[in-house]
Structure 1
Amino acid sequence: MSPQIARSWLLVPASKPELFQIAQESEADAIIIDIEDAVAAKDKAQAREETVRWLSSGHRAWVRINDAASEFWSGDCAALKDVPGLEGVMLAKTESSSHVNDTADRLPEGLPILALVETARGLQHVAEIANAPSTFRIAFGTGDFKRDTATGEDPIALAYARSQLVIASRAARLPAPIDGPTLSQDALPEGTRLAKEMGMSGKLCLTHTQAPTINAGLAPSPEDVAWAHGFVRAFEESGGKITDGSDLPRLARAQKIQAQAADFGIEVDAASLANLNY
């Protein structure tokens, strides 16, 4: 799956290399080997070695590296610089465009950087971060953000932050941002629905079993796809006649849904399309 449209981003602890293959064989759209929060300080060096070894043996993945203000950041960049299977890096606790730029300077030219915003300072500078030349996409570190800001669990408490990431991403012409993980499997469908409603198109997950739920929740539903096909068909049959100011926005939405359906392999049977009335 292209990382531009990837929905489920699976974080895999670098300290547990036995999980790498399980992650690769899962339904996750993208894999991120985590050498930051998932690894204790004393185990960082070993985790880097395991990560480099796996990515140098025919496998591919993203890697979450330590933040640019940490003592481990330069070592992470140096270790990953010439690794053939590195698809990109997730930069933890991104708080400025300089964090992205400095990281890009230490990695292969053109390597995409997924900026993880997880502090108040990072959110305050999110537009600047989004416009950094090497920023590929923005992700929301909800756990650390709640800790940093003493924000509660009610979804409304993070609505402003999520909206800022969505707006900054759109203004910078980046793909829609990636939401933070939902820890409870029971709460995952609602957490995924909320991310989609807020305008986000990806979601982090901490276990491969969550990937199917995220993928389904962030893809158009069969009903949405049927509506899109029916609307486009009716619009074309009318000769592209504009009847009111909502036609063009609805056409754009329908075409976007059709593109997503093609990307994600979502098909609607002919009988469902035949029963649509427009």
Structure 2
Amino acid sequence: MTVFSETHCVHRPHWSLARTWLLEPARPGFTSALSSEADVVVLDIEDGLPDAEKPAGRHAVAEYLHGDGRAWVRISSAGTPDWHADLDAVAAAPGLAGVMLAKSVSAHDVVSTAQRLPAGTPVVALVESALGIESALEIARSCARIAFGIGDFRRDTGMCADPMVLAYPRARLVIASRAAGLPAPIDGPTLRVNAADLARDTEVAKAAGMTGRLCLDGGHAAAINRLLSPSPDEIDSARATLARLDAPTSHYDGSAGPTRARAESVLDLAAKLGVL
């Protein structure tokens, strides 16, 4: 998909391949974020706004989506008064590209949301609690993709941000997504105050098997996109691996199949992202 602005155009992959999901609070001027380098811009009418600003935010997003605008929207957790109000505001908007559902804890949360939306509207389930992690496979079987809400998860469980500590919940989401046939999950964001950790955090997400990240600052998008895309070295290595396996003298053993599949997946992803 290519998005045009007055100054430049941005090529964005399909949401199933999206690396950066920019959460943009629905305050005046939010449309400027639509020309960012993020693969997906999510207009945030949940935690991105104080309670007092949510009615105005809903109205602004609904007006934009009923006009010429198109975007994803993050809505409040299922069954809450804010969830009802959010869906009342945006569900029928022709410009609604998809919904990110906050604090998902069950398949029912996702299904009840999808039932309020036009058929085929993708729902990304934000898993942000211990209960959500324990229900990961159930949630994955009902949604389009899973995202990890690290901040609320840490608040719920008391866990720190150390990658070793969060390895288990990340692994649960990656395995559940794969088992349900979904794209790999979306990791949580790097806070603006921790911008120095952006590269490290992104490498952690990639090593865990995640292929996207939430983003709170449009300025982080380019670095995340680059780090979550196959690098020139990875592409060269994949090509060399396939050439070696295809050589007449190639020695095949029990690892040849997985090795070939990994190399092919690198080149396939690079082609889809336009970095081959």
TM-score, normalised via structure 1 length: 0.91
2:141 to 103, 120, 131: 131
Matches of 1:27 and 1:87, distance apart in 2:
18
Work out the number of aligned pairs and report it. 262
Partner in structure 1 of residue 214 of structure 2: 204
Q: Secondary structure at the match of 1:17?
A: coil
Partner in structure 2 of residue 275 of structure 1: none
1:153 to 158, 161, 175: 161
Matches within 5 A, 1:40-189: 40-132=50-142, 135-183=143-191, 184-189=194-199
Matches of 2:217 and 2:242, distance apart in 1:
38
Out of 80-89 and 227-236, give the one that drifted further. 227-236
Matches of 2:251 and 2:212, distance apart in 1:
34
Matches of 1:30 and 1:147, distance apart in 2:
26
1:252 to 235, 250, 261: 261
2:235 to 207, 221, 225: 225
Matches of 2:248 and 2:211, distance apart in 1:
32
Matches of 2:210 and 2:161, distance apart in 1:
19
Matches of 1:227 and 1:52, distance apart in 2:
47
TM-score, normalised via structure 2 length: 0.92
Q: Secondary structure at the match of 1:90?
A: strand
Matches of 1:169 and 1:68, distance apart in 2:
21
Matches of 1:57 and 1:207, distance apart in 2:
26
Partner in structure 2 of residue 20 of structure 1: 31
Query: What do residues 30-58 of structure 1 show as CA deviations (whole Å, max 9, x unaligned)?
Result: 11000000111122111011111222232
Q: Secondary structure at the match of 1:186?
A: helix
What's the CA shift for 1:242?
Answer: 5.6
Q: Secondary structure at the match of 1:185?
A: helix
Partner in structure 2 of residue 243 of structure 1: 252
2:22 to 2, 10, 35: 10
| Equivalent residue letter for 2:169 | A
Q: Secondary structure at the match of 1:4?
A: helix
5+ residue gaps, structure 2: 1-12
Matches of 2:244 and 2:195, distance apart in 1:
40
Identity of aligned residues (%): 46
Contact 2:23–2:44 (CA under 8 A) maintained in structure 1: yes
What's the CA shift for 1:19?
Answer: 2.9
Contact 1:126–1:165 (CA under 8 A) maintained in structure 2: yes
Contact 1:12–1:20 (CA under 8 A) maintained in structure 2: no
Contact 1:89–1:112 (CA under 8 A) maintained in structure 2: yes
5+ residue gaps, structure 1: 268-278
